[in-house]
Amino acid sequence: MNSSGHNLFHCGTLTYTKPALAVLFFWLLWGDFCYMLMETVTPSIMPLRFKDLGATNTEMGLILGTIPGIVYSLLNPIISFKSDRFRSRWGRRIPFILGSVPFLVICLMILAFGDQVGYWIHGKIGTEAISANRVAIWTFGVFLVIFTFFNTFVTSVFWYLFNDVVPEHLLARFMSWFRIISLGSAALYNFCIFRFAGTHATQIFIGAAILYGVGFTMMCLNVKEGEYPPPPPYVGGKVGPIAAIQTFGKECHSHSHYWYLWISVFIGSIGGGVVTFSLLFSMAIGLDLAHIGYINGTVSTVVGILILGSGWLADKYHPIRVVVVGGILNLLVVLPANLVWIFWHPSPEKAFIVALTIAVGFGAPVAALQGVWDPPMLMRLFPRERYGQFCATHAVWRAMGGIAGGALAGGYLDVMAHFVGRERAYFFIPLWQLVFGIPSFIILLKLFKSWKRHGGDASYKPPLPGRSC
């Protein structure tokens, strides 16, 4: 992949002029904008809906974390593996993405009226053995699982599309803009829309569905994939689902170098199981939705600016070093700073100022440093010819950690609520993250040492599957 003297840019069999490349970037970034807005809506609103319906923390952890994590961890490797080897006139990525669009739109529309659908079902059942709110909670849960099923086709494949259509020497610059658009869409949502989440959730879901349905379809129809070589054979030259499973497992789990990453991600994701309750944590310390939206929007804006600098640092010093520095600062500064709420309960005005200071002054710089983990660090660590498979494995281990974390974190908060009260229990969220963040970081350091042993800056080559340490 390189540019010629005639201002032509190549990616596999694809060739672009500068204007054509600009058009490609526009449609990919437009798709990212629509997708990120849609992705932001569900996790930001559903905790509020569940809290209003009287769901327990354990139920929220299961419905928002554990069950979707199970669906994702089962489907992601299958979709990624099949997509790598899929061949059609429309490419190997676009069919998976475009085919899921109508189903996601329908799910979002149903989620917009999920509580009403639940009440209607309760009325049809005609039983007093279970409350209408309980039926509404699990109605939401069922449609969230269906939503996760179809959304996994996008989350599994969308990121691989960039590697297939963007010239390699422009990928870093493209990913910088990609991050900025993602953070910009999150900032727009938090500044302008999130404050209405408590009163206009239905309208927000409908708006997200329409924008995603129209916008993402436009992207899929305007981005063209090139031709691919024949798919690689399975291990041993065999065929069938058993051979596919053996190939996936052997190629992605036969080297200790990658096990450091899988275990670090798994443990870190258990710690991340409390992220589902971040909104409730913010409300517990005295912030309203307008305050929360302002803080989140400001953080997204600041991270969007700082990530250009962290991207430059990653190019200069390698992403893994930047991620390690971010991990150190997270454990020594960000999480300890958030433990202040266990001991100090200021007025809402002071809470807003302190929370904004911690989030923007400490959290945003660390988030910018850790933002080069995925995908810049993974692109530099994984074998390029097996990139989709290794990304899927990374996602599976992250999802399995999320499965465990969602269930355990919800139970942890319910136990804490028994001792300190439901609202105060959320103050102990940073403690949970710290407990799991420390061992996750220690194993990340082992990955860093292994990276150096395999060549480091000068000559790193991803260890080939099947080769022993």
In this structure, of 57-61, 282-286, 288-292, 320-324, the range with the lowest mean pLDDT score is 57-61
Task: Give the pLDDT score at 4.
Answer: 45
With a cut of 60, say whether residue 392 has pLDDT above it: yes
Asked if 151 contacts 100 with a C-beta cutoff of 8 angstroms, the reply is yes
CB half-sphere exposure, 439, CA atoms < 13 A? 11
User: Would you say residue 454 has pLDDT above 90?
Assistant: yes
6-226 and 243-456, same CATH topology: yes
Superfamily (CATH H level) for 6-226: MFS general substrate transporter like domains (1.20.1250.20)
Query: Minimal CA–CA distance to 273: which of 424, 60, 52?
Result: 60
* pLDDT band at 378; cut points 50, 70, 90: confident
Which DSSP symbol is given to 344? Answer: -
What is the predicted pLDDT for the residue at 6?
A: 58
**Spatial CB neighbours of 96, under 8 Å, sequence gap ≥ 6:** 79, 83, 86, 153, 154, 156, 157
Query: What are the DSSP calls for 86-150, one per residue?
Result: ---TT-SSHHHHHHHHHHHHHHHHHHHTHHHHHHHHHHHHT-SSS-HHHHHHHHHHHHHHHHHHH
CA dist 318 and 307 (Å) reads 14
Q: How far apart are CA 269 and CA 274, in angstroms?
A: 9
Residue 3 has pLDDT above 50, yes or no: no
394, 262 contact by CB (below 8 A): yes
Q: How much of the chain, in percent, has pLDDT values that exceed 70?
A: 96
Predicted structure pTM score: 0.73
- More confident call, 357 vs 68: 357
Which range is least confidently modeled, 44-53, 85-94, 165-174, 307-316? 165-174
The pLDDT of residue 172: 65
Comparing 169-173, 447-451, 456-460, which segment has the lowest mean pLDDT?
169-173
Say whether the peptide bond before residue 346 is cis (omega within 30 degrees of 0).
no
Q: Which is more confident, 202 or 239? A: 202
Question: pLDDT by residue (tens digit) across 146-157?
Answer: 999 999 999 888
Q: How far apart are the first and last CA of the chain?
A: 31
In order of 34, 178, 267, 372, the CA distances from 29 in angstroms are: 9, 6, 32, 18
At 128-148, the pLDDT tens digits run 778 899 899 989 999 999 999
* 243-456 placed in CATH 3.40.50.720: no
Q: Is 262 a residue whose pLDDT tops 60?
A: yes
Q: Taking the domains of the chain in order of start, what are their residue ranges?
A: 6-226, 243-456
pLDDT of residue 427: 95
